[in-house]
Structure 1
Amino acid sequence: MHWIINWRCTVSCSSYLMLYPALFTLMLITSIDATAEPAIKLSNYFQESWTTRDGLPHNTINSINQSDDGYLWVATWEGLARFNGRNFALKGRGTDTGLPDSGVRAIHQDNDGALLVVGSRGGFVRRSTTGWRHWPQLNVLLNDVKQDQHGGYWLASEGQGLFYQQADGSRLHFTSEQGLPSDIVHSLLVDPAGRVWIGSGRGLAVIYPDTPTTIHTIPDIPPVPVFALLQRDDTVLVGTERGLYQWQNGQSHLVQPELSEQPVSALLLRNNELWLGTTDRGLLRLTDGVLEQLTIDGGLPNNRILSLYQDRENSIWVGTNGGLFRLREAPFVTYTAERGLAGDYTRAVLAHSDGSIWVGSSQGLSRIVGQTIERLDISAYSRGQSVLSLSETADGSVWIGTYTDGALLWRDGKIVQKLQRDNGLLANEVRAVLPLTDGVWVGTAQGLNFVTKDATKAYGTEHGLPALFIMALYQHSDGRLFIGTGGGVAIMQTDGSITALDFSALDGAEYAFGFTPDPQQNLLWMTTDRGLVAYHFADGRLSMLGRKVGLPFDKLFQAVLDVNHNLWISSNRGILRLERDNLAGVLSGLQQELHYELFGESDGMQSAQANGGSMAAATLAQDGTVWFATSKGVSWVQPGILRRFATHIPPVVIEGLRVNGAEAVLRQGIVIAPGANRLEFAFAGLGFVMPQRIQYRSQLVGFDEDWIDRGSHNTAEYTNLPPGDYQLRVAAAYPQGGWSRQEAHVNFTILPYYWQRVDFWLAIMATIILLALAMLRWRFNALQRSEQLLRLQVAEKTLKLQQQADHLQAIDQERSALLTQIKQQAQEFEQQARLDALTGLPNRRAFDEALARECARSKRSNLPLCLVLMDIDHFKQVNDRYSHSIGDEVLKLVAAEISTQCRQDDTVSRWGGEEFALLLPNTDIVVAQDICERIRKAVMQIDCSAFAAGLHISISLGVAQFAGEVPHDKLLSRSDSALYQAKQSGRNRVDVAL
């Protein structure tokens, strides 16, 4: 009981500071952070969720916390899930953790930053970076745990009251007999003053440090379950079954009338925002007196919320009864029909000079002013209201190009002019409009028109246009008009003549989707179906920037230069960002490859499929934001926000080691036995905002001379390392951010075989020398004896010499036979060196030879060639759940099934681990996709019941067609990217690299 003596009362309850409830609420809100940035609307946060389908052991998330090393920990009824941003690792009951049961109720940090974990059967453990420690269980469900300033632990139980475990391990017990309102304790709070706040099943109680054996019930708090407690300064927030209350200076009252009947189950303070989880009404947020709500209808997995947590990157994590949910800022914000747009399928976006944003969709026209979205009704002039293009005139009017109703001019809130086929347009499908002072250019699906007050001129292929389908128009300062068509680009000179640009050397480019002038480099960017084309105004030269310089795909729709002259480009597969200096370096030949960032759904877009083929599908707003028309709303990004994401440097950890394909215990100073010809290290940057975009670099000290850039790949593999001492160093960074200040590292030693040791060879050399000396001495003595007998045995010696000659001839014959046998064994060994011992398939070495041979043949004969990379889904779980021997049987069955489905000319090999590779010569991408689908279905039919009941197998496949890449590693990279996309999209599927 020495802890009782050491406590001192550090607070006083001043009765003369009694204030009105409204003033308490105002003090709570204003004291949080008066200088904080305005809160983002709940609807603007990017939402993500994880369930058991994503690796969680259970969908009820009881508690969330983040350890000092950066991992996110999630408490469920089936164990702790450790999250590194990409996957979950399960920590359940057992000798490793010391938990008596997998059910975990709460996770909190202690005074030293270690995690305190409590749960079913009274399990109570502490996890630090050095390991796990556990205490004797209490045989009752523990709901909460907090550590006080003296190193003791307060433990809340479900039905047995409150426990206090002192630093020496002894325990005290408090129940209703000692004054607890209820023996059910839901929540605990130890404040800086040493007070212990107890949220029970029948109200709130407190233990003051000056009377540590007395429990005081707090008046004015209803006698209902208190699920959550939170402190800010001298205020205690109390989340109850019947509303949110606050205690301050001895007084308690309801925080806000709107919260009077809200069943509050979790609390979180962030800047000037109060976040509230409820038992059945979703997520609430109170900001400056404004209450917002997010429910299942808004994206929550479930309306029952059990926990809230803010991580070090300021993301909000929500533990629900239906999985783990996260709200975070993302580079992109998307407005959809749910937010008020006329339609989700948007084709054109215009940044108006008045600061508004106009959005044309397949279902009408919208205008965004600030946070307000209004729909502009053009139904009287356009039956379908399907908008293709938008363009602003000098006086602020807007031309609206439609799909079926021509071009409409909007001025002062109404349509004042309509251009269509009946009054001179070549077609009613208007994809490009360019207003000038003396008229307006109208690009249609059947040619080009120039409309003035007095006349309408038409231009077609007979005038020099390469095609009639017009998608983009741009007039340069010198008066020339650039025309983007479905057959290339034409330029109308100031004298009216039209000449087509020569696209013959541009990798087969035809469609020109958009134009973007770049005054800084004195060129015009053209987005085409084969990449990015630069037109140099100085000499009319064309430069193609496509796949050959590193672009991931061909078709680019619209390019926008941001305020820093970086280029943002829309496509069917996301938004590309190219840096200004890198673009200039590639154009000048000083750099060989374009470096890009690709943004998609994980970055805030509702759909990575942007739209193009109209003017304009992207635009730069006055505030520097870049807007894109997509198949699911209009998305915008503030380029400057990327720097904010990059300011956080994710910690990095080395998570695993595989030696010759088998898992090894990872620890400092690990000693690896001789014969380790393949080491694979897995590492993770513990950043959760953009985990897929984290970049890695590694250096194996003792082997690598410098850092090796790994891109976004979080593994490093080394083969045939010589024996010796090594250190692997790993660093991580977000794009445009700095590298880890504290690198992860692991030291290890590879032992040599006995015959690789220096002392072994020294001993061998000494033995050879001694034998040689002994033989010389013996020979010398023999010669002396032979000399004495020589004269007496000349004839006899002659006969023996003849016999010896015959014997040598026989030996020579035996030697020839032995050499022949050795050659045969060498050939057999060479053949075995190209086969995988487990599956009998060609191995990686044989496959690399076949790949080089088939690529050369395909390029020489101009025949198609496809490469397929396959990966058995969740194979690690097969090894972990059944055994590695069962995993080997699965590998052999899958290998046999793949071989059965292949043709005689196909090459199937074991790529490594659970991966297989398949070469399909004389096969185009469509046929290859059919073959892959047949293989995928055949693997699903494999019957494993004979040796692993309940085991079902599936594979993911990535297909790429050879496009003449040199080196052919790029073919491997594209196939691997397709395989990665297949696994990210749900596994058990075939994805094609386009």
Structure 2
Amino acid sequence: MSHLYAFTKVNDYFMEVWTSHQGLPHNSVNAITQTDDGYLWFATWEGVARYNGLSFTLFSRDEQKGIVDAGVRTLTASENNRLWVGGARGGVTVRQSFSWFPQTLAQGLVNHVFVDHQRNLWIAVEGEGVFFRPFLSDNEYGPEKKVLNIATYRLAQFEKGSVFAATKQGVYKLSGNSSEHISLPGLPSDTRANYISFDHAGNLLIASVLGAWRYDGVEVKRYRNELSNEVITLIEEDDEGRIWFGTIDKGIARLSLKQLDFINTDNGLPNNRVLSWFQDAEGSIWVGTNGGVLRLRSAPFMSVNKFDGLLGEFTRTVLPISGGRFLVGTSEGLSIVDGGVAKPSSASFLSQQSVLSLAPSTSGKIYVGTQRSGLYEWQNGGLTPRLSVESGLPSNEVRAILEDSVGRLWVGTVNGVVLVTRDGKTKLINQANSNLPDDYVIAISEDQRGRIWFGTAEGVALYDRLNNIEVVDISVYEGAQYVFGFYIEPGFVWMATDRGLLRYDVLKKRIDGVGKPAGLPIDKIFQVVYDHLGSFWLTSNRGIWKVGYVEAHRVASGNLQTIDFEHFGEADGMGSDQVNGGSTPAAASTKGGYMAFATAKGLSIIKPTSLKQLYQYRLPVVLEQIDADGKLVNPDETPELGPGINRLRIKFAGLSYIMSQRIQYQTKLTGFEEEWNYQGNQTIAEYTNLPPGKYEFRVSARYPYGAWNDSNVTYHFEILPFWWQRLEVQVIVLLLIIVLISSMIIWRVNALKRRQIYLAEQIDLKTQELREQSELYEHQSREDPLTALSNRRAFDEKVRGDFILAYPSLSKLNLAIIDIDHFKQVNDRFSHLVGDEVIKLVADYLNESIGEPNQVARWGGEEFTVLIHGTQEEAREICQTLLNGIAQLECPQLENKFNLTVSIGYANALGCQDYQTLLKRADQALYAAKEKGRNRVEEFDEFRMYG
């Protein structure tokens, strides 16, 4: 059956148009070509447009590139990925990969640039002729010479033969310095030839202002008499051997099997003036006109519509029948589709009858459900009424039909289901007499256990062998309600619903789904069809969605969160994105591997294996643009990038023009990434803050479900380091750091040793200072600050110690207390400062007069104490001496107005229990001296004191 859907006429191509609205810089497309890397190039009057399948990139006037004027007339692709550009003002330049090599200007508008098999350059110049430039080296040519002095438009060469020229005065054969004119029979010798090319057999094809011709090297023959008076702008042969003719005002024509078909503005061409033609590596035909460019291609889907004989375009149902044909029900009748051509299925069928459903029978007949006339039987072109309202149907609107495995007929209508048993009896099943969830029955199917499943507008139910109807609650998944179709397999029932694809687990009696929560962008699915190649095809109002069969099970089982999908629509050759539902079957598959879908504009047919073949196509991948920190980089000339690159952006593209938007990518930056990085449809890889080093960027592409192509597109580059990041600098710096650290360690060790010595010295010094300070504090704590005599504390300690030592012979220890007489008068009359001087005067005298082991101390205020070792008589003598001596002292501050005298009381320690007793006795003696008139010495006398 593979031959049945081959294209039979030019209108069967899937057509797409690009104009300035879709990115072309100008609507006049003068030339089209494809370079080795896979890019398509379009010459316009506003520059050269490069196309990658998704977007155009413009190359306009640029003297550095050699495009001296925006107007580009011709493009030629040559070996080693070279593109020759010729245009206005004599501009000639060649692009190779990312580099441009301007050539010497030609002498006028360049109509064509041609590179012969010896790599020599031929240039056809408007109004001047043909110029030859010998090859010297890559992209370099010698001085030109003129080889033909006639305005020339096109040059061509077959293999290693002669070069031919299409000129204002016909076709010329060029050889060395000579030229030979080729005569066209029946035409004036100066008839203008617009275009020449060669077919696969080496015949020269000639397009002239008076038709098209073929020259086999011996004779010239005309193509088709109906073209004899047409201005033919171009002539080319495609890969299938069909000849294409461009005209000046009739569009493009294709000659195939002696049949001439035209494409013009009436059936898709943007403008009837054809300027250029090209067939790309994928077999698509590109036609350049004055109003844009048309692409003709073999789309994945073929659409059969009313132009192909279909009765009406709004297709409702489709069923495979014998001979690889399809029986198709539309809103206007029943048709048979055979080999892409449709015809009415029955001459007797009512015109304008809408067919809603189809179903096969074991007898070979086909059941046909209509919208207004009930159920029919079709066989070999004949239609026979079977059931209607008059014969038992609750409604003539039949949306679902099934003949089950035991020969029963089930007819689903909008008012319930009618069961017709094998003996012809009928039974109505509806909400009123059963558990049927709704009377509006859309789908009927049978499972492996012989149970009948009903899909309705309010849910789903099943009819078992015991004639019981069980309702399955599908609303548990996203509130599902409508069931439009079934796909039943052992253990599971798949349902197309208004909330996605649902799966019923027969054993667990559980509903799960594959819908929007799993990533599907739509809710309402009309049909689910399995292609036996591992995919479900889901139809909807927004096209067809293809999902993996295993992935659908994994999502329904909760083992996968989201599901990948492919989307198909009008851009893939379908008649309409609206794939119809609400009746069954609205989609079907054949044993030959074809699948057919009912759409709002005809029947769309596809063979999924053709997609698989397309997905296995090894996509050419190119690097489109590289920029480092916003500056464009030519990878052919710049393997090294400067230091400090913060952001590197690499743009790439897979160059396929059939389903470009579906191409998937993965990238890997060796030296930075260990694994491939999946990019999806993203065509830009971006890296930030890459460290200095050597890298290799690789990119690979594929179609969904296809194999990744072996990536031979690489970009080797190195990010240079700053001077301080260089290895030799880092080694030197490391050595310096080691030396510095070693020096610092040695210095530190020595410093610590010096510090240790210093600290030891400081400790000794501080210890000495503390000792001295302590001694000072000790001394200050025992010395009277005014007189430098021992204070009371020191005197107490002295008396206590001497008392203990003298205890066996206390009679030789005496204590005297001395008080300056009338000292208050000194302070009052002469001031406290004079009083302090008097105290120091007395103190100095006492200190000089008392020697060891005796001790003198300031007791407080104007009182002094003296510890005297010796007998009582000796003590009295000392006290008397002190009394007399003090009376002789002179104090200038007293100005002889005050007589300095003292009172002294002393006591012997004999009989004292402790030294406090001795102090008390001396104090009592002093008191006695003051009582007796002062300026005297009194001895303690116990009997006299207490008698």
TM-score (norm 1): 0.69
Match of residue 73 from structure 1: 41
Q: Hey, what's the Cα distance between the residues in 1 that align with 2:124 and 2:203?
A: 22
Please state how far the C-alpha of 1:106 moved relative to its aligned partner.
1.4
* 1:517 has 2:517 as partner: no
The answer (yes or no) to whether the contact 2:483–2:497 under 8 Å persists in 1 is: yes
Please state how far the C-alpha of 1:765 moved relative to its aligned partner.
7.3
* 1:303 has 2:303 as partner: no
* 1:669 has 2:643 as partner: no
* 1:202 has 2:169 as partner: yes
* 1:344 has 2:313 as partner: yes
Match of residue 448 from structure 1: 417
> For the structure 1 residues 717 and 509, does the alpha-carbon distance in structure 2 shift closer, same or farther, using more than 3 Å as the test?
farther
Q: Hey, what's the Cα distance between the residues in 2 that align with 1:156 and 1:333?
A: 42
Q: Hey, what's the Cα distance between the residues in 2 that align with 1:658 and 1:132?
A: 18
> For the structure 1 residues 40 and 654, does the alpha-carbon distance in structure 2 shift closer, same or farther, using more than 3 Å as the test?
farther
Match of residue 784 from structure 2: none
- Aligned positions of 1:135-214 closer than 5 A: 135-167=103-135, 168-174=141-147, 176=149, 183-192=150-159, 194-209=161-176, 212-214=177-179
Match of residue 18 from structure 2: 50
Q: Hey, what's the Cα distance between the residues in 2 that align with 1:623 and 1:790?
A: 107
> For the structure 1 residues 250 and 754, does the alpha-carbon distance in structure 2 shift closer, same or farther, using more than 3 Å as the test?
closer
1:136 is matched by which residue type in structure 2?
Answer: T
* 1:367 has 2:345 as partner: no
Match of residue 92 from structure 1: 60
* 1:533 has 2:502 as partner: yes
Please state how far the C-alpha of 1:617 moved relative to its aligned partner.
1.0
> For the structure 1 residues 450 and 193, does the alpha-carbon distance in structure 2 shift closer, same or farther, using more than 3 Å as the test?
same
> For the structure 1 residues 487 and 562, does the alpha-carbon distance in structure 2 shift closer, same or farther, using more than 3 Å as the test?
same
> For the structure 1 residues 237 and 752, does the alpha-carbon distance in structure 2 shift closer, same or farther, using more than 3 Å as the test?
closer
Match of residue 878 from structure 2: none
Q: Hey, what's the Cα distance between the residues in 1 that align with 2:759 and 2:203?
A: 113
Q: 3-state DSSP class of the match of 1:298? A: coil
Match of residue 263 from structure 2: 294
Please state how far the C-alpha of 1:719 moved relative to its aligned partner.
4.6
- Aligned positions of 1:25-424 closer than 5 A: 40-110=8-78, 114-129=82-97, 131-167=99-135, 168-174=141-147, 176=149, 183-192=150-159, 194-209=161-176, 212-220=177-185, 221-222=187-188, 223-232=190-199, 233-269=201-237, 270-353=239-322, 355-375=324-344, 385-410=353-378, 413=381, 415-417=383-385, 419-421=387-389, 423-424=391-392
Match of residue 537 from structure 2: 568
Match of residue 397 from structure 2: 429
Match of residue 487 from structure 1: 458
> For the structure 1 residues 111 and 331, does the alpha-carbon distance in structure 2 shift closer, same or farther, using more than 3 Å as the test?
closer
**Of 365-374 and 137-146, the range deviating more from structure 2:** 365-374
Q: 3-state DSSP class of the match of 2:29? A: coil
Match of residue 707 from structure 1: 676
1:615 is matched by which residue type in structure 2?
Answer: T
1:669 is matched by which residue type in structure 2?
Answer: P
Rg bigger for which structure? 2
Please state how far the C-alpha of 1:224 moved relative to its aligned partner.
2.5
**Of 158-167 and 501-510, the range deviating more from structure 2:** 501-510
Q: 3-state DSSP class of the match of 1:628? A: strand
> For the structure 1 residues 773 and 440, does the alpha-carbon distance in structure 2 shift closer, same or farther, using more than 3 Å as the test?
same
The answer (yes or no) to whether the contact 1:333–1:635 under 8 Å persists in 2 is: yes
Q: 3-state DSSP class of the match of 2:526? A: strand
The answer (yes or no) to whether the contact 1:205–1:218 under 8 Å persists in 2 is: no
Q: 3-state DSSP class of the match of 2:661? A: helix
The answer (yes or no) to whether the contact 1:301–1:323 under 8 Å persists in 2 is: yes
Structure 2 residue corresponding to 1:652, chosen from 621, 634, 642: 621
- Aligned positions of 1:901-920 closer than 5 A: none
Match of residue 740 from structure 1: 709
Q: Hey, what's the Cα distance between the residues in 1 that align with 2:318 and 2:42?
A: 42
2:435 is matched by which residue type in structure 1?
Answer: G
Q: 3-state DSSP class of the match of 2:409? A: strand
Please state how far the C-alpha of 1:594 moved relative to its aligned partner.
4.2
Q: Hey, what's the Cα distance between the residues in 1 that align with 2:662 and 2:88?
A: 38
Please state how far the C-alpha of 1:120 moved relative to its aligned partner.
0.9
Please state how far the C-alpha of 1:242 moved relative to its aligned partner.
1.2
2:650 is matched by which residue type in structure 1?
Answer: F
The answer (yes or no) to whether the contact 2:416–2:428 under 8 Å persists in 1 is: no
Could you give the per-residue CA deviations for residues 887-922 of structure 1, whole angstroms, max 9, x where no partner exists? xxxxxxxxxxxxxxxxxxxxxxxxxxxxxxxxxxxx
Question: Percent identity of the aligned residues?
Answer: 36
* 1:463 has 2:434 as partner: yes
Q: Hey, what's the Cα distance between the residues in 2 that align with 1:658 and 1:513?
A: 52
Please state how far the C-alpha of 1:439 moved relative to its aligned partner.
5.5
1:228 is matched by which residue type in structure 2?
Answer: Y
> For the structure 1 residues 163 and 658, does the alpha-carbon distance in structure 2 shift closer, same or farther, using more than 3 Å as the test?
closer
> For the structure 1 residues 149 and 754, does the alpha-carbon distance in structure 2 shift closer, same or farther, using more than 3 Å as the test?
closer
Q: 3-state DSSP class of the match of 2:527? A: strand
Q: Hey, what's the Cα distance between the residues in 2 that align with 1:200 and 1:675?
A: 55
Could you give the per-residue CA deviations for residues 529-562 of structure 1, whole angstroms, max 9, x where no partner exists? 3332334556655553345555454332212233
The answer (yes or no) to whether the contact 1:104–1:120 under 8 Å persists in 2 is: yes
Match of residue 895 from structure 2: none
The answer (yes or no) to whether the contact 2:246–2:252 under 8 Å persists in 1 is: yes
> For the structure 1 residues 457 and 245, does the alpha-carbon distance in structure 2 shift closer, same or farther, using more than 3 Å as the test?
same
Structure 1 residue corresponding to 2:607, chosen from 625, 638, 654: 638
The answer (yes or no) to whether the contact 1:675–1:753 under 8 Å persists in 2 is: no
The answer (yes or no) to whether the contact 2:595–2:605 under 8 Å persists in 1 is: yes
Could you give the per-residue CA deviations for residues 152-188 of structure 1, whole angstroms, max 9, x where no partner exists? 3222121112222233522222455xxxxxx321211
Q: 3-state DSSP class of the match of 1:468? A: coil
Could you give the per-residue CA deviations for residues 618-642 of structure 1, whole angstroms, max 9, x where no partner exists? 0113532100112232211012212
Q: 3-state DSSP class of the match of 1:297? A: coil
Please state how far the C-alpha of 1:728 moved relative to its aligned partner.
1.8
The answer (yes or no) to whether the contact 1:243–1:259 under 8 Å persists in 2 is: yes
The answer (yes or no) to whether the contact 2:589–2:596 under 8 Å persists in 1 is: yes
The answer (yes or no) to whether the contact 1:425–1:456 under 8 Å persists in 2 is: no
Please state how far the C-alpha of 1:359 moved relative to its aligned partner.
2.4
> For the structure 1 residues 122 and 410, does the alpha-carbon distance in structure 2 shift closer, same or farther, using more than 3 Å as the test?
same
Q: Hey, what's the Cα distance between the residues in 1 that align with 2:689 and 2:470?
A: 61
The answer (yes or no) to whether the contact 2:148–2:179 under 8 Å persists in 1 is: no
Q: Hey, what's the Cα distance between the residues in 2 that align with 1:681 and 1:439?
A: 65
Q: Hey, what's the Cα distance between the residues in 2 that align with 1:392 and 1:38?
A: 27
**Of 263-272 and 320-329, the range deviating more from structure 2:** 263-272
> For the structure 1 residues 719 and 163, does the alpha-carbon distance in structure 2 shift closer, same or farther, using more than 3 Å as the test?
closer
Q: Hey, what's the Cα distance between the residues in 2 that align with 1:660 and 1:386?
A: 64
The answer (yes or no) to whether the contact 1:451–1:457 under 8 Å persists in 2 is: no
Q: 3-state DSSP class of the match of 1:266? A: strand
Q: Hey, what's the Cα distance between the residues in 1 that align with 2:466 and 2:649?
A: 67
Q: Hey, what's the Cα distance between the residues in 1 that align with 2:448 and 2:760?
A: 111
Please state how far the C-alpha of 1:219 moved relative to its aligned partner.
4.5
> For the structure 1 residues 208 and 427, does the alpha-carbon distance in structure 2 shift closer, same or farther, using more than 3 Å as the test?
same
Between Structure 1 and Structure 2, how many residues are aligned? 754
Match of residue 589 from structure 2: 620
1:204 is matched by which residue type in structure 2?
Answer: V
Consecutive unaligned residues in structure 2, runs of 5 or more = 136-140, 772-947
**Of 539-548 and 636-645, the range deviating more from structure 2:** 539-548
* 1:501 has 2:472 as partner: yes
Match of residue 780 from structure 2: none
